[in-house]
Amino acid sequence: MKLTKITSRDEDFAKWYTDVCMAANLVSYSNIKGSMIICPNGYAIWEEIQKIMDAEFKKLGHQNVQMPLFIPESLLNVEKEHVEGFAPEVAWVTHGGDEKLEERLCVRPTSEVLFCDYYKNVIKSYRDLPKLYNQWCTIVRWEKTTRPFLRSREILWQEGHTMHETEDEAINETLQMLHVYEDFQRNYLALPVIVGLKTEKEKFAGAIKTYTIEAMMYDGVALQNGTSHYFGNHFAKAFNISFLDRDNKLQTPYQTSWGTTTRMIGAIIMTHGDDHGLVLPPKIAPTKVIIIPIGNDEKIQKTVNEIAKQLDVSFEIDNSNKSPGFKFSESEVKGIPIRLEVGQRDLENNEITLVRRDTLEKIKIKVNEVKNEVEKYLEIIQKDMYNKALARRNSMLYTANDYEEFKNIAQNKPGFIKINWCGNEECETKIKDETGLKSRCILLDEESDGNCIICHKKGLHKIYFGKQY
Amino acid sequence: MKLTKITSRDEDFAKWYTDVCMAANLVSYSNIKGSMIICPNGYAIWEEIQKIMDAEFKKLGHQNVQMPLFIPESLLNVEKEHVEGFAPEVAWVTHGGDEKLEERLCVRPTSEVLFCDYYKNVIKSYRDLPKLYNQWCTIVRWEKTTRPFLRSREILWQEGHTMHETEDEAINETLQMLHVYEDFQRNYLALPVIVGLKTEKEKFAGAIKTYTIEAMMYDGVALQNGTSHYFGNHFAKAFNISFLDRDNKLQTPYQTSWGTTTRMIGAIIMTHGDDHGLVLPPKIAPTKVIIIPIGNDEKIQKTVNEIAKQLDVSFEIDNSNKSPGFKFSESEVKGIPIRLEVGQRDLENNEITLVRRDTLEKIKIKVNEVKNEVEKYLEIIQKDMYNKALARRNSMLYTANDYEEFKNIAQNKPGFIKINWCGNEECETKIKDETGLKSRCILLDEESDGNCIICHKKGLHKIYFGKQY
């Protein structure tokens, strides 16, 4: 038996990424173009993500529901900007069994119109507000090119859709959920994400404001890793949703939506992975520890059992008849945060060897201290992984004071470039057309301090540009 | 504010069912024909079901994956019996965006062919077996008539698909999962289900054997509430799946699949519900206790907080400004197993009132004994609900010794009728055509003790017949 060879990360990042996805048994290509199979190791990570995020959503009062999979064409057409954004990339169902449908249905690419169609029936009074609903489901967008987790025709995701009495409340919800995403990705996925506002050009079809979570991958390329939208009452008006307010007057409610996908798994791989394979942040790793006995004499097996009894985190024991070296490699490919090697020589000193996946450092620990040592190192690894990713990200953040400098950086250095920008789409488009870099996000906590690097008019925003997946 | 009126169960069972579904906010009709919306209270029950079943599957070594949503027509066509069974009821995707697809895709009605298409690539050696995969997902079957939870075009379900080295192992898996379903439905859903084998006529398209979980609803009508299929190596051969066995010989693996759906929620409603609404078995109730303060003076609020601190099960406090009577009714409609009423008069004796949802019995309990009393009654309610359902079911089980008796019972008494049957489809079809009753299942633990009631040839099986949803 041999492990699949992984291409070196610095040699061919794209190939490295695919190799890791396959070698760690995260996904498999299917024979259906554009669809991937999420294999056990990949799906287990998604289950961890779901468990943590879902609990967070519920803590904030959100409830899960399940809306229809299909959207009739006429319903998709209700909000003009929205349909223009999505119609080109939906899958159309035209027949049920042998019968041609009277109206064709698209497989939902997102569910704003489905939620609105429902809210229309159930929102009558201010007492019915807020509605704080979320669903975990599959959506379909007819992408031409696909890559595991990053871009595929079917996407597993969660989408929150809320309705509120006031504009303020809806804006607060939009920002609250943005920060829920930010905190989750920082604290659990160890991703040093940048949050900000999308430009008018890049915002969601139909939204007033789109906030975004921008992660930077190992190669300096951006991955949009979650968005939170404020809709005002665009959709509510288009769908005739209204309620009697506290003064018995008819009002239109204010709406948000927010979503994250299995793309987050892609971000974990491309931020933390190395030439040995996947590296999982401990807090999201389905298996946090793997125990590998070296040899199977009685004392070793006894120690393995002792350790298993001590541990208070999810672990596996590899008792297969593969060679120790193979088992070590396999645990590395899978990204299990801590490996405990139990061997004859160490045991003479009542020790075993703890191997950190993130650094591959080997540390001798006492058998009777395994529980504490494991918990200590899980915390250290989580923190170190974040800091390492942060340092790398910071080393690829640039500021350009003029367009020449911008083009120079864009051509030579991967990463994000910060500039002053006038806010006009023309300047944004010029940059994109001439350099290939798209706007990532307008900074929320930093104001413009100079003129637009393109038109030299007064700067309105600080904004990041970068290449994207 | 008023609660939706619920039609009496004995007056119009079908209308009662729909009323309960709506009044308890379990589902809502959508404007998309055939699709329902699963509302928060309904989805929360599904989440409880998923949590418990998923843990059980994993304990037995199953892993979750996610297969594609779409099946290309050519792939669906690979196994002949299977495609004949499903082609008439699938939804066909013919266009992606503006482009007509080269080959149309159906939205999966079940995923045997998708799993086989995957297994073909990953099963090479006996070391790769067994494969024990499951997925939680949505499937689509183009039903003409639909009813909440019982029959709809979109179905939320789990489907297990396993591959094994030997026939024995696959048969054991089929039966093991049948009994996992049986135990879950008995112990958690309090459903006194009958397990058995489907006839050749009623088995799953492509299966060798289909085992079934048959539940009987309050009105004596059957609900097929889960199936477990043994496929032999039909599919494996059609898909050219083979592996090198322990003797280095090429073999074809043996396959199973097993599934249950949100239909189980329909079974809970129609088995346990009453004229006040839903009645949830404690073990599956998302909220097990609701605390309702009657009045809001300080002592009452203090007691409510004391109780809340004591409780070790999921509970809600209804502090809304609705009237106590309204709150009582609402807690009954939702089926919350235990209601704790905290009022002035009881408190003078340091008591509160515990109301059982299943019997509506009111019991005075001491404030400092709330935790134990609640836990005691949750157990009692769970047990009593099962026994009550069992007694009702048993009262509607009949045995017919000849066809006249069968027709007489079939015409006058709802329920299941047990007969001796020769095993021939002709006799089965005659019964169905003449009485409207379909075979439910061949009994596993009782042998034929007489001649077939139709053809009078030697009986091969004891079998139940009944009407079905």
pLDDT in tens, A382-428: 999 999 999 999 999 999 999 999 999 999 999 999 999 999 999 99
The answer to whether residues B345 and B364 touch, using CB atoms and an 8 Å cutoff, is no
Side-chain-side CA neighbours of A182 within 13 Å: the count stands at: 15
Mean pLDDT of chain A: 96
Spatial strand order in the sheet of A209-216: A63-64, A131-140, A154-164, A254-261, A222-232, A209-216, A194-197, A438-443, A461-466, A416-421, A397-399
Is A28 within 8 Å of B63 when comparing Cβ atoms?
A: no
pLDDT at residue A38, rounded to an integer:
97
Is B97 within 8 Å of A154 when comparing Cβ atoms?
A: no
- B144 pLDDT tier (thresholds 50, 70, 90): confident
Say which CATH topology domain A13-272 has.
BirA Bifunctional Protein; domain 2 (3.30.930)
Mutate to test the interface with A, among B4, B32, B108, B139 (most CBs of A within 10 A): B32
Q: What is the mean pLDDT of residues A228-234?
A: 96
- Per the model's pLDDT, the better-predicted residue between B47 and A79 turns out to be B47
Question: Which residues of chain B neighbour A44 with C-beta distances below 8 Å?
Answer: 63-64
- Per the model's pLDDT, the better-predicted residue between B425 and A144 turns out to be B425
- B145 pLDDT tier (thresholds 50, 70, 90): confident
CA-to-CA distance for B437 and B416, rounded, in angstroms?
Answer: 9
- A110 pLDDT tier (thresholds 50, 70, 90): very high
- B340 pLDDT tier (thresholds 50, 70, 90): very high
pLDDT at residue B245, rounded to an integer:
97
Is A64 within 8 Å of B156 when comparing Cβ atoms?
A: no
Question: Which residues of chain A neighbour B28 with C-beta distances below 8 Å?
Answer: 118, 121-122
pLDDT at residue B1, rounded to an integer:
52
Question: Which residues of chain A neighbour B93 with C-beta distances below 8 Å?
Answer: 91-94, 107
The answer to whether residues B358 and B388 touch, using CB atoms and an 8 Å cutoff, is yes
Is B69 within 8 Å of A105 when comparing Cβ atoms?
A: no
B96–chain A nearest CA distance, Å: 4
- B32 pLDDT tier (thresholds 50, 70, 90): confident
The H-or-E segment that residue B116 falls in is helix B112-122
- A167 pLDDT tier (thresholds 50, 70, 90): very high
Residue A87 pLDDT greater than 90, yes or no: no
Contacts of B21 (CB under 8 A, 6+ apart): B27, B42, B148, B149, B269
pLDDT at residue A1, rounded to an integer:
52
The answer to whether residues B379 and B398 touch, using CB atoms and an 8 Å cutoff, is no
Mutate to test the interface with B, among A50, A51, A54, A95 (most CBs of B within 10 A): A95
Is B37 within 8 Å of A133 when comparing Cβ atoms?
A: no
pLDDT at residue B99, rounded to an integer:
93
Say if residue A211 is exposed, middle or buried (CB neighbours under 10 Å; 0-12, 13-18, 19+): buried
**What's the gap between Cα A80 and its chain centre?**
28
Question: Which residues of chain A neighbour B98 with C-beta distances below 8 Å?
Answer: 88
B134–chain A nearest CA distance, Å: 9
pLDDT at residue B88, rounded to an integer:
87
CA-to-CA distance for B212 and B229, rounded, in angstroms?
Answer: 9
The answer to whether residues A285 and A48 touch, using CB atoms and an 8 Å cutoff, is yes
Paired residues of B456 in beta bridges: none
pLDDT at residue A2, rounded to an integer:
59
CA closest to B90 among chain A residues: A97
Mutate to test the interface with A, among B25, B65, B155 (most CBs of A within 10 A): B65
Is A66 within 8 Å of B43 when comparing Cβ atoms?
A: yes
pLDDT at residue B193, rounded to an integer:
98
B285-381 maps to CATH 3.40.50.800: yes
> Which of A38, A92, A140 lies at the smallest CB-CB distance from B95?
A92
Residue A12 pLDDT greater than 90, yes or no: yes
> Which of B32, B43, B44 lies at the smallest CB-CB distance from A68?
B32
Is A63 within 8 Å of B44 when comparing Cβ atoms?
A: yes
Is A93 within 8 Å of B93 when comparing Cβ atoms?
A: yes
> Which of A37, A88, A153 lies at the smallest CB-CB distance from B65?
A37
Is A75 within 8 Å of B133 when comparing Cβ atoms?
A: no
pLDDT at residue B2, rounded to an integer:
59
Question: Which residues of chain A neighbour B240 with C-beta distances below 8 Å?
Answer: none
Residue B403 pLDDT greater than 80, yes or no: yes
B321–chain A nearest CA distance, Å: 11
A413–chain B nearest CA distance, Å: 36
A163–chain B nearest CA distance, Å: 15
Q: What is the mean pLDDT of residues B141-168?
A: 94
- B238 pLDDT tier (thresholds 50, 70, 90): very high
pLDDT at residue A31, rounded to an integer:
82
Q: What is the mean pLDDT of residues B160-177?
A: 98
Is A65 within 8 Å of B37 when comparing Cβ atoms?
A: yes
Determine what percent of chain B is predicted with pLDDT higher than 70. Answer: 99
What would be the CATH architecture of the domain defined by B397-466? 2-Layer Sandwich (3.30)
Determine what percent of chain A is predicted with pLDDT higher than 90. Answer: 93
Q: A287-379 maps to which CATH number?
A: 3.40.50.800
CA-to-CA distance for B60 and A21, rounded, in angstroms?
Answer: 26
What would be the CATH architecture of the domain defined by A398-466? 2-Layer Sandwich (3.30)
CB pairs under 8 A between A and B: 148
Domain spans of chain B, in order of start: 13-272, 285-381, 397-466
Mutate to test the interface with A, among B36, B43, B127, B326 (most CBs of A within 10 A): B43
Question: Which residues of chain A neighbour B88 with C-beta distances below 8 Å?
Answer: 97-98
Q: What is the mean pLDDT of residues A316-343?
A: 96
Cα dihedral B274, B280, B282, B288 sign: negative
Backbone angles phi, psi at B411, to 5 degrees: -80, -35
CA-to-CA distance for A343 and A356, rounded, in angstroms?
Answer: 17
Angle in degrees, CA B337, B341, B343, rounded to 5 = 175
Q: What is the mean pLDDT of residues A245-251?
A: 97
CA-to-CA distance for B82 and B92, rounded, in angstroms?
Answer: 17
CA-to-CA distance for A27 and B428, rounded, in angstroms?
Answer: 46
Residue B416 pLDDT greater than 60, yes or no: yes
CB atoms within 10 A of CB B431: 23
